[in-house]
Amino acid sequence: MTNDDGARRPAGQARAGGRMSADDDAARRPAGQARAGGRVENLDAARRIADGVFWLGGCLSAFSAGEEVHYHVSSYLVVGSRASLLVDTGDPAHRALVLDQLEAALGGRTLDYVFPTHPEIPHAGNLPALLERFPEARVVGDVRDYALHFPEFEGRFDARRPGDSIDLGGREFRFLPAHIRDLENTVWGHDSGARMLFVSDGFSFIHDVPLPDGDDDEPVHRPGQCRLFSGEMPAPPSVEQAAYGTGRALYWTKFVDVSTAFAEIERMLAELPTELIGPAHGNVIDDVGGMLATSLAAHRRVYDDARKQ
């Protein structure tokens, strides 16, 4: 048991009293290009990670074994010629940050769709603020339960099932089954424009394993590694590191052999060319094949270790 008072707070705090500006440096750089020194210079701004795709949100900070560690709580903005869509809302701790990042990334356009991958606080907690800021925006995805949680917005929820898609203009956003998830009403998505798969709680990784007495349930990384691609990290995560995050954050994987789920994921990737994977709680993955292998091995380790207990 720990007293958490004050232990978790937004990391990479926004400038006091300042508005965010678009990450001009990132906007000039070819999408996906690694940054010198492996560090994002301006964590207050959205990071443009591909043509028409921005990485928003921030990190939350906690202390594990006396050392500060971070975990991502990310949102992704996909902008087409006709419409824009936000994947996940970010955490309420980052409400002002996300709204400012979003406004800057939209560059004067409006937000048309909000797609919370599932109704948990880090994924849907900023829904009221977003719907107030963008009065025309519609909430799409598996929208069961949302009328219970946000009754004042009851007329703005549009169900989209796996297999459905939205034409954003020059790119298609497709809703997909979530093969790795916690809540059942989780949906993944894919953007054809950037060939990017959005996987919610799936494919989260840590990059430094906290000591055994660490009490974090979320995948973590060290300060300075915020909003980097996996390929920009000092080293790719090991199976051990991936297993730590998997076992802590997705409890059920201790009981279930995920080989079937990974076979489904591989079929999905064969059908939908994918160059980037965007998890909500991990670094953006730019080595899809390598990380798939690492993640599957991690899940198998979690399952095998649980069988030995």
Partner 1 sequence: MNGSAGLLAPPVGLAGSRVHRLGAEILLDEHVSWCPEGVRRRQPVNAYLIRGEGGAVLVDTGVRRHEAEVLQQLDELLDPGEPITILLTRTEMECCLNVPAIEARRPVDAVWYTGGITVPRSTAPARRVSVEPGTSLDVELRPGVVLQLVSPLLRLLPTLWVYDPPSGVLLTSDAFTYARGDGEAGDPMEGLVKFRWFGGADTRPIARDVLRVIGSRRVTAIGPGYGFPFVGEAECRREAARLAACLEEVGGR
Task: Note the residues at the interface with partner 1 (CB under 8 A).
Answer: 1-8, 60, 91-93, 119-122, 124-125, 142, 144-145, 147-151, 154, 182-185, 215-218, 249, 251-252, 255-257, 260
- Smallest separation, CB 49 to partner 1 (Å): 24
Q: In terms of CB distance, is 105 or 298 closer to partner 1?
A: 298
Q: Are 206 and 245 in contact (CB under 8 A)?
A: yes
Q: Which is nearer to partner 1, 52 or 122 (CB)?
A: 122
For partner 1, the closer CB: 95 or 133: 95
Nearest distance from C-beta of residue 37 to partner 1, angstroms: 30
Q: What is the DSSP letter of 148?
A: H
Per the CB < 8 A criterion, the answer to whether 81 and 170 are in contact is yes
3-state secondary structure of 192: coil
Q: Indicate the residue among 109 and 149 with the shorter CB distance to partner 1.
A: 149
Report the C-alpha gap between 281 and 200 in whole angstroms.
8
Instruction: Provide, rounded to whole angstroms, the least separation between the CB of residue 2 and partner 1.
Output: 5
The identity of residue 290, as a single letter, is G
Sign of the dihedral through C-alpha 83, 23, 124, 198 = positive
Question: Residue 170: helix, strand or coil by DSSP?
Answer: coil
- Output the smallest distance, CB 113 to partner 1, in A: 20
Residues 6 or more apart from 121 whose CB is under 8 A from it? 91, 92
Smallest distance from the beta carbon of 60 to partner 1, in angstroms?
7
Distance separating alpha carbons of residues 101 and 123, to the nearest angstrom: 16
Q: Which is nearer to partner 1, 164 or 217 (CB)?
A: 217
